[in-house]
């Protein structure tokens, strides 16, 4: 079953609601699911039951206004991209909507082309947001937490060199020479300050970069292996599976599926 992105249209005027849905259904061609709600209460019920990716809501509605509906999203786990639709073009409404994170503000009667453009923009915002969230999930928290513990200048310089040269093969001895330390002492100091061996740290950094390239580029597995300093794709795939639990191909397929619209 295909996991469709869902758009929710909220408007208390039946004619407007039907017109917006018809326009969006024609545009979507089955690529997106278009739902409707006749009130803020009905919208909240839908939001409690379904994942909504884009929310189009009128500002002026009885009981729960569009702005109140948007504010209520903060109490929920969902964070749809929001477009405001209103017959009221007063600046204060637009100001408050923008402050609440609304990406577009359309004035009734809504032009069909402007509606479609607004939804396409919202989908782009959603895609960028989901990619950013995915990349944040990819950060190796062990690496992030470790950085605050590093005190000595040689290890800081070593970390800088490692991050700037992940595309090149290098050894502990190469880096120790770079920071003017004996290899044995450098190895002990590195472990003491990072709580990781030099080899483990470099591997984690290379694989973190590989994860990012798998999701954000069209590079082949072979090209990514080379870009993160591995001379053979076979060894890269073996190492990636050991650390990530899946092959690079499966990792890419799983994460790209989340942002394919």
CATH number, domain with residue 10: 3.40.50.2300
Domain stop point among 79, 108, 131: 131
DSSP 145: H
What is the C-alpha to C-alpha distance for residues 60 and 81, in angstroms, rounded to an integer?
Answer: 19
Q: Residue 10's domain spans which residues?
A: 5-131
Tokens for 131, please give them: 């990619």
Say whether both 183 and 252 belong to one domain. Answer: yes
Say whether both 22 and 100 belong to one domain. Answer: yes
Backbone angles phi, psi at 55, to 5 degrees: -115, 120
> What pLDDT was estimated at residue 100?
86
Say whether both 172 and 122 belong to one domain. Answer: no
Mean pLDDT of residues grouped by 10 in the chain (261 residues)? 83 95 96 96 94 94 89 87 84 79 90 96 92 77 81 95 96 97 97 94 95 92 97 95 92 76 56
> What pLDDT was estimated at residue 260?
60
Say whether both 158 and 81 belong to one domain. Answer: no
Say whether both 245 and 167 belong to one domain. Answer: yes
- The answer to whether position 223 is within a domain reads yes
Tokens for 192, please give them: 């003491």
Domain stop point among 87, 108, 131: 131
Say whether both 122 and 145 belong to one domain. Answer: no
Q: Taking the model in full, what pTM does it have?
A: 0.70
CA dihedral for 168, 171, 177, 178, sign (positive or negative): positive
> What pLDDT was estimated at residue 259?
57
> What pLDDT was estimated at residue 261?
56
Say whether both 243 and 206 belong to one domain. Answer: yes
- The answer to whether position 136 is within a domain reads no
How many domains does the chain contain in total?
2
Say whether both 86 and 146 belong to one domain. Answer: no
Say whether both 165 and 99 belong to one domain. Answer: no
Say whether both 11 and 110 belong to one domain. Answer: yes
What is the C-alpha to C-alpha distance for residues 171 and 116, in angstroms, rounded to an integer?
Answer: 54
- The answer to whether position 76 is within a domain reads yes
Backbone angles phi, psi at 141, to 5 degrees: -65, -25
């Amino acid at each position: 079953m295909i996991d469709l992105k869902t758009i929710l249209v909220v408007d208390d005027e039946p004619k407007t609601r039907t017109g917006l849905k018809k326009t969006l259904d024609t545009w979507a061609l089955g690529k997106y699911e278009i739902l409707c709600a006749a009130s803020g209460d009905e919208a909240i019920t839908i939001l409690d039951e379904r994942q909504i990716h884009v929310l189009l809501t009128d500002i002026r509605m009885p009981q729960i206004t569009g702005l109140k509906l948007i504010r209520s999203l903060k109490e929920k786990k969902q964070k749809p991209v929001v477009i405001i639709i209103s017959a009221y073009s007063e600046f204060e409404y637009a100001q408050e909507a923008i402050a609440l994170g609304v990406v577009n503000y359309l004035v009734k009667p809504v032009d069909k082309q402007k509606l479609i453009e607004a939804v396409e923009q919202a989908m782009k915002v959603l895609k960028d947001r989901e990619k950013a969230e995915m990349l944040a999930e990819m950060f190796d928290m062990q690496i992030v937490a470790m950085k605050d513990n590093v005190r000595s200048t040689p290890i800081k310089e070593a970390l800088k060199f490692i991050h700037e040269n992940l595309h090149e093969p290098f050894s502990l001895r190469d880096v120790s020479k770079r920071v003017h330390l004996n290899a044995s002492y450098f190895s002990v100091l590195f472990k003491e300050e990072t709580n990781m061996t030099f080899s483990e740290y470099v591997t984690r950094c290379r694989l973190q970069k590989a994860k990012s390239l798998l999701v954000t580029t069209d590079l082949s597995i072979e090209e990514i292996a080379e870009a993160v300093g591995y001379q053979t794709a076979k060894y890269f795939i073996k190492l990636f599976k050991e650390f990530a639990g899946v092959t690079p191909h499966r990792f890419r397929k799983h994460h790209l599926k989340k942002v394919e619209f």
